[in-house]
Structure 1
Amino acid sequence: MKLKSLLIANAVLLGSFALQAHAEDEAQLIKQGEYLSRLGDCMACHTVSGKGDYAGGLAIESNLGTIYSTNITPDKEHGIGNYSEQQFSDAVRKGVLPNGSRLYPAMPYPDYAKISDADMHALYVYFMKGVKPSSEQPPETDLSFPFSQRWGMRFWNWAFTSDKPFQPIGGASEEVNRGAYIVESLGHCGSCHTPRGLGMNEKALDSGDDQFLAGGSLNNWDVPSLRGLPRWSEQEIVDYLQTGRNDKAAVGGEMKSVIEHSSSHMTDADLKAIASYLKFLGGNPALQAYDVKKQQATEAKLTAAKGLSEGERLYIDNCGACHFVTGKGAPGIFPELDQATIVNAKDPGGLIHTILAGAQQPSTEKAPSTLAMPDFAKRLDDDQVAKLATFIRQGWSNSAPAVTKDQVAEVRKTLKGE
C-alpha cells in the first residue's frame, strides 16, 4: 500500500514538473514571438491609435485604393482566434485565408514567405496566447472593379511570389546571414526599397538580384537604395534604425513608423547584423562627387548675406538657424542637407512634403527626446516653397533639378486639412 502511494506521489510530482516545463516553454515562445512581431513590424500596420493592439483598421493608401488592415488578435469572431497553426502560416506566408480568399500584397507575404518554421511557430503562440483579444471590427476593404476580385490574386501570386525558403549567402559570415534573414523575411525591407514592376510587384526578393533594395517610390516619395549605403558607417546605420537619427540624417515619412514600432525594439546584435548585411551588398556608388569649391561658395555667400536670391534668403530666414550656412546641420540633432538623399532625390516630393508639413522624430528608448521641425505650409506659398527647395537641391555640393510651384501645389493637396 505504501509502495502504491509512493508511485502515485511520484507520478503527480513528475506531472507537475512536466506542466511547469510546458508553461516555461510556452512563456519563452510568447516572448520570442513578441520580439519576432517587432521584427515584422506587425504593430505598425495592425494598430490604430486609441484602439487595442493588433485590432486592425489602419487605412493603407495604395494605387488600387484604400486597404484596411485586419484584426489579428485571438478574438474568435472578429480576429484570428479560430485559425490553426497551418492556417496562420498560410495567411502570413502565402496571403491565403482559411476560407480560400486572397490577401492583397499590402500585407507583405511575398517577403514573409521566407520566415522559418521555428519563427512561424513562435509567432503563432504569441498571437494566440500573448495578445489580448479585441472584438473591434475594422472597416472592410472595398476596392473598385476589377481590383475587388480577390480570386485574381491567385495568378498574381503565381507570377510574382516564391515559396523558396530563405537561402543563406554562401561564403558570408554568420552575422551577414542573420542580417539577410531579417531584411529579406520579417523585416520586409524590399517591399518599400525595391523597385516595383508593371504588376506592382517587387522586382527582386533577395540579394541574388542587383535590383533588390535598389530604391523605389512610395506615396510620391523617392525611397533610397540600401545597397552599401556608402555615406554611412555601420554604426550610423545602427544609430538610425535604433533612434531615428544619426550624424547625417533624421527619419521622415513612412520610415518613422518603422523606427517607432520595429527597429528601435531590436537587439543590438540584430541591428549590427542588418548593418553588416547592407554594407555587404555594396553596389551603390556614392551620391555624387563631393564638390568642395561649390560647397564653400554657397557657405561664403550665405555667410556674407549679400546679393542673395529669393531661395537663399528664404533659407536664411527659415532654415539657417538649424541647418546652418554650411548645410551640415548638427550631428545627431538636425540632419544634413548637403548631399542628403531626400534633397537629391529624382522626385522632390519628399523634400516638399517635409517643408510643408514639418517632421518629428520618434521617441525611442535610446533617444527619448522628440525633436521637431516646424511646418511651413501656412507661412510660405507654393512659389516660395519651390524657390526654397530649388536652392536646397542646388546649393553646396547638391545638383538636383529645380522644383516648380506646380509640384508644390500637388504635394500640398495631399496634406491633411488642406
Structure 2
Amino acid sequence: MTARHLIPLLAGSAFALAAPAFGATDDTLERGAYLARAGDCVACHTAPGGEAFAGGLPIESPFGIIYSTNITPDDEHGIGGYTEEEFAAALRDGERADGANLYPAMPYPSYANLTDDDVHALYVYFMQGVEPVAEQPPETDLGFPFNQRWGISAWNWLFADQPTFTPSASNPELTERGRYLVQGLGHCGSCHTPRGFAEQETALDDSDSDYLAGANLGEWWAPSLRGGSGGDGRGVEGWDTQAIVDYLKTGRNAHATVGGEMTSVIAHSTSHLTDKDLTGIAQYLKSLPANPAAEDAPSAQDRQRATNETEAHLTAAKNLSDGERLYLDNCAACHFNAGQGAERVFPPLNGNALANADNPSGLIHTILAGAKPPATPTIPAQLPMPGFAWRLSDDEVASLATFVRGAWGNDGDAVKAEQVADVRDELGDAPLNKAVDREGELNQTDGED
C-alpha cells in the first residue's frame, strides 16, 4: 500500500510550502527543509485546497480510504507535542506518540534507513520551520479486521526490516549518496517495486532483483528503474547518467517527457534537488543490473526494422487500418511517423514504457485526458498534450491504442473498447486535462525556497 500513486489528488490545492522561519546561516533548518523536499512529504500530507502538511489527503488502499495526518507543529492536531525520539519512531518504525501503529501508507519501511543526523534535521524543520495548523484531518475508519492497528505489528515484523543506512566502501561516495536517497527518503520502491500478497514491497533494497523492477500502480505502469545492462535496452537501461539527471530535474530528456504519476514527484520533489544529489541517484540506478529481457523480446535490430516499416507505411498513407488513420489524424503532427516525438517536448512512442506496459490503462488515460509536464525551476514552460475524450469514441481509442502498442517494434497487446470505457468512467466529468491545469496552479504557487 502506498500513497504516492494518489498524488494527483493534490490537484486544485493552491498552496505554497510553509516559509521556513530560519536565516540563510541556519544549516540544520535549511537541511531539514531540503530533506523534506527529497521525501516529498508535502504530497501526501496536504489535502486538496488545504494547508501544507496539515493532512487530510484521502489515500486509496486495497483495504479502504486512509487519511494522511497533520504533521505541522500544532500541539493539539499535529505533532507539536512529539519529542525527537517519538518523531523518529513515527518516521522509522511507523509508531505514533501514543504507541499506536501508523498504517504503512506512510513509507516508514523506507524511511527506516534515515541517519540520526537527518532525522534530527527533519525534526528541527518541522518543529521550527513549518507553520502550525490547528486543523483535524478526518479519522481513518477501515473495516474489520484492518481497523485493528495492533495487527500491523505482525506486518512490520514480517516486512519492515530496513536497517539504518550504512554506506558501502566498495562503491563511489556519490553513488552511495544516491542509494541512500533512492532507498530512503525518495522511497522510490513504493511505486517501482512489485507488491506481495500483503501489499508489502517484495524488496526494500538492491539485495533482491525485485527491487525497482517495475510495478502496476493503479491504472499506471511504474517502469523498472534498474538502469544497468543485460535487459532489452529500453527505458532507463538505454539512458545515460545525464539523461536521468535531466529527467528528474526537468521532467524531460532526449528519450522521454514525464506524464502520469511521476509528474507531481518531479514538480514538488526531484526538480528541487541539487545536481550533485541527482547525479548520485542516476549513478546508483545505472549500477543496478537491468531486468533480464524476455525470451521473445525483439532485438534492437528488429525494432529498428519495424520502425522503418511503420514509418514508410504511414508516409505512403495507403491501405491504412483504423488505428493508423487515427494516428495520422490526431498524433503524427507531434509524435511523427517514426514515433520518435520531439526531444524534450513530445515523448517518443517508439519503445515507450507506457505503450508497452502489460496494462494499457495508463496509455488509454493519456489519450482520453491528455497530459502536461510540470513547470520546474529550470524549465518553467509547459506544452500540454490535449485530451481526446471529447473527440474519439471508445472503439476509436481502442483502435488507436492498439496501433501505438504494436507499431515501431512495440509489443503491447491489443486494447478493447471495454477497457477504454472503464477508464472513461473512472475519469467521469473531470478528466485529467482539467486536473493538470490545476497542477499548473500548484507549480506556480509551490514555494520559492
**TM-score, normalized by length of structure 1?**
0.92
The 5 A counterparts of 1:6-45 are 27-45=26-44
Deviation string 1:249-269 (CA, Å, 9 cap, x unpaired) is 111222111101110000000
Aligned position for 1:409: 421
Q: Which moved more, 1:90-99 or 1:44-53?
A: 44-53
Aligned position for 1:227: 226
Which amino acid in 2 is paired with 1:206? Answer: D
Is the Cα–Cα contact under 8 Å of residues 322 and 399 in structure 2 kept in the other structure?
yes
2:87 is equivalent to residue 77 of structure 1: no
Deviation at 1:169, TM superposition (A): 3.4
Aligned position for 2:299: 289
Is the Cα–Cα contact under 8 Å of residues 55 and 68 in structure 2 kept in the other structure?
yes
- For 1:109 and 1:168, the matched residues in 2 are separated by 20
Q: Identity over aligned residues, as a percent?
A: 57
Aligned position for 1:110: 109
Is the Cα–Cα contact under 8 Å of residues 239 and 246 in structure 1 kept in the other structure?
yes
2:265 is equivalent to residue 249 of structure 1: no
Aligned position for 1:180: 179
Deviation at 1:48, TM superposition (A): 3.1
2:340 is equivalent to residue 328 of structure 1: yes
Which amino acid in 1 is paired with 2:331? Answer: C
- For 2:429 and 2:152, the matched residues in 1 are separated by 35
- For 1:355 and 1:85, the matched residues in 2 are separated by 47
- For 2:182 and 2:110, the matched residues in 1 are separated by 9
Aligned position for 1:397: 409
Is the Cα–Cα contact under 8 Å of residues 215 and 222 in structure 2 kept in the other structure?
yes
2:338 is equivalent to residue 339 of structure 1: no
Structure 1 counterpart SS, 2:238: coil
- For 1:293 and 1:356, the matched residues in 2 are separated by 30
2:280 is equivalent to residue 273 of structure 1: yes
Is the Cα–Cα contact under 8 Å of residues 373 and 382 in structure 2 kept in the other structure?
yes
Which amino acid in 2 is paired with 1:213? Answer: L
Higher relative contact order, structure no. (Cα contacts within 8 Å, ≥ 6 residues apart): 2
Q: Which structure: larger Rg?
A: 1
Q: Which moved more, 1:383-392 or 1:251-260?
A: 251-260
The 5 A counterparts of 1:44-59 are 44-59=43-58
Over 3 Å counting, the alpha-carbon distance change for 1:167 and 1:206 in structure 2 is farther
- For 2:28 and 2:66, the matched residues in 1 are separated by 31
Tell me the number of residue pairs that the alignment of Structure 1 and Structure 2 aligns.
396
- For 1:238 and 1:317, the matched residues in 2 are separated by 34
Which amino acid in 1 is paired with 2:105? Answer: A
Structure 1 counterpart SS, 2:382: coil
After superposition, the CA RMSD in angstroms is: 1.6
- For 1:27 and 1:74, the matched residues in 2 are separated by 19
Deviation at 1:283, TM superposition (A): 2.7
- For 1:81 and 1:320, the matched residues in 2 are separated by 55
2:314 is equivalent to residue 302 of structure 1: yes
Over 3 Å counting, the alpha-carbon distance change for 1:362 and 1:299 in structure 2 is same
Deviation string 1:13-51 (CA, Å, 9 cap, x unpaired) is xxxxxxxxxx98992211000000011110111123432
Aligned position for 2:268: 261
- For 2:342 and 2:27, the matched residues in 1 are separated by 42
Is the Cα–Cα contact under 8 Å of residues 78 and 134 in structure 2 kept in the other structure?
yes
* Structure 1 counterpart of 2:399, from 375, 384, 387: 387
Aligned position for 2:437: none
Q: Which moved more, 1:96-105 or 1:277-286?
A: 277-286
Over 3 Å counting, the alpha-carbon distance change for 1:26 and 1:64 in structure 2 is farther
2:371 is equivalent to residue 359 of structure 1: yes
Deviation string 1:115-164 (CA, Å, 9 cap, x unpaired) is 10000000000000000111122222111222111111111101101152
Structure 1: any 5+ residue segments left out of the alignment?
Answer: 1-22
Deviation at 1:239, TM superposition (A): 0.7
- For 2:361 and 2:48, the matched residues in 1 are separated by 27
Deviation at 1:222, TM superposition (A): 1.8
Deviation string 1:296-320 (CA, Å, 9 cap, x unpaired) is 1110111111111000011111111
- For 1:206 and 1:137, the matched residues in 2 are separated by 35
Which amino acid in 2 is paired with 1:172? Answer: N
Which amino acid in 2 is paired with 1:362? Answer: P
Aligned position for 1:90: 89
Deviation at 1:413, TM superposition (A): 2.1
Deviation at 1:168, TM superposition (A): 2.4
- For 1:92 and 1:378, the matched residues in 2 are separated by 45
- For 1:36 and 1:220, the matched residues in 2 are separated by 29
Is the Cα–Cα contact under 8 Å of residues 222 and 350 in structure 1 kept in the other structure?
yes
- For 1:128 and 1:198, the matched residues in 2 are separated by 37
Which amino acid in 1 is paired with 2:335? Answer: H
Is the Cα–Cα contact under 8 Å of residues 230 and 285 in structure 1 kept in the other structure?
no
Is the Cα–Cα contact under 8 Å of residues 26 and 125 in structure 1 kept in the other structure?
no
**TM-score, normalized by length of structure 2?**
0.85
Deviation at 1:379, TM superposition (A): 1.2
Structure 1 counterpart SS, 2:359: coil
Is the Cα–Cα contact under 8 Å of residues 48 and 57 in structure 2 kept in the other structure?
no
Deviation at 1:395, TM superposition (A): 0.7
Is the Cα–Cα contact under 8 Å of residues 230 and 284 in structure 1 kept in the other structure?
no
2:204 is equivalent to residue 205 of structure 1: yes
Which amino acid in 1 is paired with 2:389? Answer: A
Structure 2 counterpart SS, 1:359: coil
Over 3 Å counting, the alpha-carbon distance change for 1:150 and 1:288 in structure 2 is farther
Over 3 Å counting, the alpha-carbon distance change for 1:239 and 1:325 in structure 2 is same
Deviation string 1:273-328 (CA, Å, 9 cap, x unpaired) is 00000001123357742322211111011111111100001111111111011100
Deviation at 1:189, TM superposition (A): 0.4
Structure 2 counterpart SS, 1:217: strand
Aligned position for 2:329: 317
Structure 2: any 5+ residue segments left out of the alignment?
Answer: 1-21, 228-235, 431-449
Aligned position for 1:155: 154
2:131 is equivalent to residue 120 of structure 1: no
Aligned position for 2:246: 239
- For 1:288 and 1:294, the matched residues in 2 are separated by 10
